[in-house]
Amino acid sequence: MTAVIDRPVRKPRWWQAPPRPVWEEEPGRAGLAAKGIVLGFACFAILFPLWIVVVTSLSSKKTIDEAGGLVVIPQDITFIAYQELLGGGQVQRAALVSVGVTVAGTLFSMAVSVLCAYGLSRSGSLGHRWILMTLLATMFFGAGLIPTYLLVQALGLTDTYLALILPSAVSVFNILVLRGFFMGISQELIDSARIDGAGDWRILWRIVMPLSRAVLAVIALFYAVGYWSAWFNASIYLTDQDMMPLQNVMIQLVQKQERPVGLATQINTGGLSALAVQMAVMVLALLPVAVLSPFVQRHFKKGMLTGAVKG
């Protein structure tokens, strides 16, 4: 025991493993290698497809023709596909629609969910059990696709952007996660604010929300990803091609192999490959998500856990 005390505690460098507990065996070489191989394969299987998509989107027509399709090793990088896509026309329009719907939808969903979660987080308040039950019940049964579709139609939402936001604006699961987090905030803090004369609005805005930045970021990301990835609502509620968000345009361009409107003439005549354009559209679709999610990654576990336990 004394030996343990005498040894100076040194924070390990990142490539060195932190000390194991005394009772745990050092892993053998074979075990380490097996672990590395499995984990490495998992990461490779996820990253390799993304790699070739990105590289192909940045390749010139010549490189793509020589590779006979998707490019694995990058050569003469060019941004011509992106220039074409973002220089106007269908894809640029769709990207703007997607950004608009995502931003507006996320703000709306966050406002509604945070308010509701706070409203339900004060224990013993009037009717909060009933409201909670009403919300929870929707996790067990859905109304079904057809009645929902008929309702959206009857409300006159078809061919409006509201049809992309309102029907999926509230996620009960997200409200539960937020509520769980709000309930964990120290009651004394809220009480003292109340003594100082703050009402519920001010407490939510000045105390609860600043203390919950991490979980707010996670939930905002969940909502944003939901709006950014959605295509089904647009496919059934919108008929106007000019209103279609990016995902729907991607279905047309890449899956159905259609040509982007306004680009048909340049492709394959100049130095622009149709494949590069398709891959560039995919990169546009994956970029915001891939860039944003690692930043909130460390909060995922906490958020999911509070939701699972308190819900």
Give least dist CB 88 to another protein, A: 23
* Angstrom distance (rounded) from CA 250 to CA 239: 16
Give least dist CB 178 to another protein, A: 11
Contact 128, 122 (CB under 8 A): yes
Give least dist CB 96 to another protein, A: 17
Question: What would the two tokens of residue 11 be?
Answer: 């924070």
Q: Which is nearer to another protein, 219 or 282 (CB)?
A: 282
Could you tell me the CA-to-CA distances from 267 to 5, 120, 255 in Å, in that order?
A: 71, 56, 17
- Considering the rule CB under 8 A, would residue 103 count as an interface residue with another protein? no
Give Cβ neighbours of residue 249 (< 8 Å, ≥ 6 apart): 90, 91, 94, 260, 281
Q: Within 129-168, which residues bind another protein (CB under 8 A)?
A: 131, 134-136, 138, 140-151, 153-154, 166-167
* Angstrom distance (rounded) from CA 179 to CA 114: 8
- Return the CA Rg of the chain: 26
Q: Within 6-35, which residues bind another protein (CB under 8 A)?
A: 14-18, 20-21, 23-25, 35
- Considering the rule CB under 8 A, would residue 229 count as an interface residue with another protein? yes
Q: What is the largest CA-CA distance in the chain?
A: 80
Candidates 119, 160, 173, 261: give the one binding another protein (CB under 8 A).
Answer: 119
Q: Within 252-291, which residues bind another protein (CB under 8 A)?
A: 254-255, 279, 282, 285-286, 289-290
- Residue 77, SS3 per DSSP: strand
Q: Which is nearer to another protein, 17 or 96 (CB)?
A: 17
Question: What would the two tokens of residue 63 be?
Answer: 């490189």
Interface map 182-221 toward another protein (x if CB under 8 A): -----xx-xxx-xx-xxxxxxxxx---------------x
Give least dist CB 285 to another protein, A: 5
Query: Positive or negative, the Cα torsion across 117, 123, 124, 130?
Result: positive
Q: Which is nearer to another protein, 99 or 198 (CB)?
A: 198
* Angstrom distance (rounded) from CA 160 to CA 201: 32
Candidates 208, 244, 250, 272: give the one binding another protein (CB under 8 A).
Answer: 250
- Considering the rule CB under 8 A, would residue 241 count as an interface residue with another protein? no
Q: Which is nearer to another protein, 145 or 264 (CB)?
A: 145
Give least dist CB 149 to another protein, A: 6
* Angstrom distance (rounded) from CA 51 to CA 74: 10
Give least dist CB 246 to another protein, A: 9
Q: Which of 100, 99, 63, 91 is nearest to 78 (CA)?
A: 63
Candidates 96, 107, 112, 264: give the one binding another protein (CB under 8 A).
Answer: 112
